[in-house]
Chains A and B, each alone.
Chain A
Amino acid sequence: MADGNGSNFDQFAAGVFSNNPVLVQLLGMCPTLAVTNSVENALVMGAAVTFVVVMSNLITSLLRNLIQPHVRILIFTLTIATFVTIADMALRAYMFDVSKKLGAFVPLIIVNCIIICRAEVVAIKCSVSRSLADAFGMGLGFTMALTILGIVREILGAGTLLKQPVLPAAFVENGHNWVIMILPPGAFLTLGVVVGVVNHLRSRKATGGVA
């Protein structure tokens, strides 16, 4: 983990690539599996999580010298719950249809371990700029992973991308779309393949491109 060493940009890049919360750390599996059946859902969920992790890291980092160690989890949870509720209300006000589809998974961001993990590992020890760099990296990494799953599942499952048809209409009309991709098993299968590819790339990198 690149925590504490290197530049702020390294911290940011680690969240997106080498320490990606979903594809490398395998955290936050609940929304990853549940809401990636379309790109739109994935992007909105990613944006909501990014907002919460940024605000949580910001507040935690600002208050890091005031927080008593044994009440820190309480403060993290309080902060996260507040901003999740704000995000939920904002979605219901401005993106009503998407928020209906995301259903309970927006309030459930409260228990998303990526966010509390970043507060505990980075924000409580590091400067505000470092914590923000970390939060944006993690948020972007999370959004990217969800979007990759969303692209695969939406194209194969519904023949569309961001609701725009990308495959001929006959694909869905004649039952050629992969229904399994819109269902939960499709999320597991896609995630398995994507994590497999990422692991393959990482092992090649680790051995200098030999394996």
Chain B
Amino acid sequence: MSDAEIPPLPEATPAAKPVPESRSEFLVTSAPHLAAGVSTRRVMFEVVLAMVPLFVFAVYMHHARAVVLTAATLAGCLLTEVLANAIRGRSQASLSDGSAVVTGVILAFSLPPSLPPYMAFIGGVVAIALAKAVFGGLGQNLFNPAMVGRAFLMVCFPAAMVTWAVPVPLQEIGVDATTMATPLYAAARNEAIPAMSDLFVGTVGGSLGETSALLALIGGLYLVMRRIADWRQPLGVLAAVAIFAAIAHRVNPAEYEGPLFHLSSGALMFGAFFIATDYVGAPITPRGRLIFGFGVGVLVMVIRVFGAYPEGVMFAILIMNALTPLIERWTTPVPFGGHVAAA
């Protein structure tokens, strides 16, 4: 749910997303169009609100690091937004819509807590500059900016991006190390995984703000109930992961963890509700959104089970972003009376 343009009424008029002339073939619209009382700024405010519990939890887990890292990505995102507007001779109005803030927070939540803050800053700069500004700003970008920023850091600083600090509360109860394996990494190597309750609440090693499936679920359900986020993408993601994990677990329980583990671990719950629901990168048709979510879920599991990386939410979202135009073409509703041959 990051980086949206003027938000559509999620159910009734999915075509409220502004589409430039050149891409008007993707415009799916049906009358009547109602003016919704929602602005980009309000949507972004609600999204940030839904992420507050996650941030509080991140501070509990990682103390000052959580604040510093979030501040660093936010600084990178907002400064780049200002700079991009200035270079293009635009007003700074896009700053106040809050989309850069949402990108910055999502990026920060997806990073290892021990990442040096300047790398987080670079990630924020790349997210806005490379994924948003060069495409023409909010609404024009193909890929989710936060995930592009994270992918850049992943390739650029591979060592720092796979080093996971032990959360402070765990240090206090006597985990005697400075770094630890994440539950997904442990599972990939068939090592001991934490208790399911710890995994669900989030008191395990992992990314800054993604470990708590519980809080992500609460925030996500809030957004769905407020009609800010569409329920279709999260449902598609969760269903695909649950089905895939259940089958794999049934085939070889010793090798593959079950659905509950996969649903509560890594960035899955956060990604399903906060990243896959991004207005810009996901299809605008209702059926398309369900397919998009399902595709993300399947890819996450393919990467987790068969891939070299233990976690695949980032790549899954980016790949499905690339497929979005195709999904929209498949799922465009046929007008009443059938298609008319183009003149």
Residue numbers of A with Cβ under 8 A of B are 175-176, 178-181, 183, 185, 189
Contacts and interface: CB of A to CB of B under 8 A. Distances in A.
B284 to A, nearest CB: 29
A175 B118 CA distance: 13
A175 B155 contact: no
B155 A176 contact: no
A113 B155 CA distance: 32
B18 to A, nearest CB: 26
Interface residues of B, number: 10
Most buried by A among B116, B130, B156: B156
- Secondary structure dominating the interface of A: helix
Interface stretch (B54-62, B157-165, B221-229): B157-165
16 contacts: A175-B157, A175-B158, A175-B159, A175-B160, A176-B116, A176-B119, A176-B157, A176-B160, A178-B156, A178-B157, A179-B155, A179-B156, A180-B152, A180-B155, A185-B155, A189-B130
Contact of B158 (A179, A181, A185, A189): A179
Interface of B: 116, 119, 130, 152, 155-160
Contacts of A176: 116, 119, 157, 160
B318 to A, nearest CB: 14
Nearest to B89: A211
- 3 shortest A-B CB distances, which residue pairs? A175-B159, A180-B156, A180-B155
A179 B159 CA distance: 10
A176 B158 CA distance: 10
Contacts of B119: 176
A126 to B, nearest CB: 40
Given A176-B116, A180-B155, 8 more contacts: A175-B158, A175-B159, A175-B160, A176-B160, A179-B155, A179-B156, A181-B156, A185-B155
A203 to B, nearest CB: 12
Contacts of A181: 156
Contacts of A180: 152, 155-156
A178 B116 CA distance: 13
Contacts of A183: 155
B17 to A, nearest CB: 27
A181 B160 CA distance: 16
Contacts of B152: 180
A176 B115 CA distance: 11
Nearest to B161: A175
A179 B155 CA distance: 7
Contacts of B130: 189
A157 to B, nearest CB: 9
Nearest to B163: A175
B179 to A, nearest CB: 13
Contacts of B157: 175-176, 178-179
Contacts of B158: 175, 179
